Structure 1
């Protein structure tokens, strides 16, 4: 597996997004199978794993910690701090968006992950009301104490990145990026390149839509996140078919899969590392294999020019994701957590 640098961290060119092992995308694998798959990815060269305290409200961190404990010294582990209080965090002195709140979060994440540090710790969002420079100082303290080796921000604006980076150098910005989500192309992504910051792309295949395996007739049940994301509405899936057709045409020419073309396009910029979800052996082989699919400058330029002519229908927003909470409450009661 090829590697890339996120400022001071060397990671596999493609990482593993672990959220889907616990929540969001339909039926989840059995715990034993999830653990096996995470370790299988490592055996195939992946050393970069991503989770967050908010994923399945702590349960994903617990699962990831259990799965990766035997190979902990061989991997780069990243997790995220939620500035908003989660279950059991309502009574933190100063609130969750505070120095105390951050310290409470990291200490408990470390326990769940069964480790004494994480290599990369993100602010999962930077609220508009947050003093991002003060926040950067809090993360800097954690770095000096060895609880984290580096820090990052998710879905942050250019202004927030600049201000925060001036206080405590940022190692990575994690935001959505794919052929269907290019909102950071003209500002944050170039800024990261300028400042030596890595860009970690979540949902690099637009939640699987660019793989060509989903149709407008697809049905989603339970608390599947695709029930609230507008990109999956049948009319939008149909309207976005020209983008999928374009990807499939290039995949045929390059003798690879549409998913691999989608990842190769994201990876053409060398400071970007995608973290797709992978919940089967076939997907692990396919996604990690994308590291060997190279688009020439000419191919990338032509493909991007063709993409520029196509309109994207639907999107994925925090407001839509918030609707999932109401859906879970409706399905599972006031806790919003499925009974196991």
Structure 2
């Protein structure tokens, strides 16, 4: 059992309080190769909650659906449901032809919520994110339906994922947004220019996904050799050999500083995210208890202003080669929606 005490932070101004570090559950069921045995994952989730990590992050598209079902099983045991903040998402779905698409129309939002409630086996979702933005539907319309779900007691707090600053503002005007989820790490810093300042201006919490660079800060360039054929990182530009050779420099520098600090490179990378402010909750994912214990160990790594400055000097927004996603993935750069006035009656 991990003995490090995991503190609590507030996300947003609506009352949502979560563990200072959460756990991303996507890789437990999908995307990063064949899933581990269900019993192992449930044991990991229980261990995380017992350790004080209570923000569990999933989505209906992980699997699809299998990750929510898995979490639902874990929540039934040992009073876990009452001890966690459960976050899930809607917006991405697979067509009958197996193609990923995005929807944000009211009928879909409601159906997605009902589906998630059933799979998770709960009456209310603590934090409900729009996973990706449907650029065909005004954001006011989508969030307007989520607002109804809040009023009906099916959702407590509202979030957005991969949304632009202007989209965040428009959504926040319809119903308070408690958290924005975005990719933020030493190798993904583009959000600092516009989105992070907007969230802080509006009092919105920040949930940082992939804070370990999808495993890059755990293994460095060697990670490419460990990926199975069904691991989606094989298709990400940053993991291509020609880009990884360049990105090796970032890992080497992080490794050097970690050695001086007496911590591991992933702990240093996570500590950097924690040091961005008490409105930031990173959600590293893992399928192993030993990796989980290492991740929460990052909470005890204290960085000096000089160390933060050194990290910033070589981990700039343009120091990494390769886009975060391939061309088929919608990100905050493609999240502008039509205005309400342009919508046909």
- Length-normalised TM-score, structure 2: 0.87
Moved over 6 A (4+): none
Measured in 2, the distance between the counterparts of 1:280 and 1:51 equals 17
Deviation per residue, 1:113-134 (Å, 9 max, x gap): 0100110000001122220112
1:316 aligns with 2:333: no
Identify unmatched segments of 5+ residues in structure 1.
Answer: 323-340
Contact 1:204 1:262 in 2 (8 A): yes
Deviation per residue, 1:57-109 (Å, 9 max, x gap): 11111001111222000000000002556569x9xxxx953211111110110
Contact 1:278 1:287 in 2 (8 A): no
Equivalent in 118, 133, 154 of residue 126 of structure 1: 133
2:259 aligns with 252
Equivalent in 15, 25, 47 of residue 32 of structure 2: 25
Measured in 1, the distance between the counterparts of 2:96 and 2:160 equals 22
1:234 aligns with 2:211: no
Equivalent in 35, 44, 47 of residue 42 of structure 2: 35
1:176 aligns with 183
Indicate how the Cα distance of structure 1 residues 154 and 86 shifts in structure 2: closer, same or farther if over 3 A, else same.
farther
Indicate how the Cα distance of structure 1 residues 5 and 221 shifts in structure 2: closer, same or farther if over 3 A, else same.
same
Contact 1:50 1:79 in 2 (8 A): yes
Equivalent in 197, 202, 205 of residue 209 of structure 2: 202
Indicate how the Cα distance of structure 1 residues 153 and 223 shifts in structure 2: closer, same or farther if over 3 A, else same.
same
Note the aligned Cα RMSD (angstroms).
2.2
After TM superposition, the structure 1 = structure 2 runs for residues 1-340 of structure 1, keeping only pairs within 5 Å, are: 1-7=6-12, 8-70=15-77, 71-82=80-91, 84=93, 96-215=103-222, 218-270=225-277, 271-308=279-316, 311-317=319-325, 319=327
SS at match of 2:311: helix
Higher relative contact order (CA 8 A, sep 6+): 2
1:338 aligns with none
Indicate how the Cα distance of structure 1 residues 309 and 97 shifts in structure 2: closer, same or farther if over 3 A, else same.
closer
Indicate how the Cα distance of structure 1 residues 2 and 213 shifts in structure 2: closer, same or farther if over 3 A, else same.
same
SS at match of 1:218: helix
Choose 202-211 or 129-138, whichever is displaced more.
129-138
Identify unmatched segments of 5+ residues in structure 2.
Answer: 1-5, 331-345
Contact 1:173 1:200 in 2 (8 A): yes
- The number of residues matched between the two structures is 318
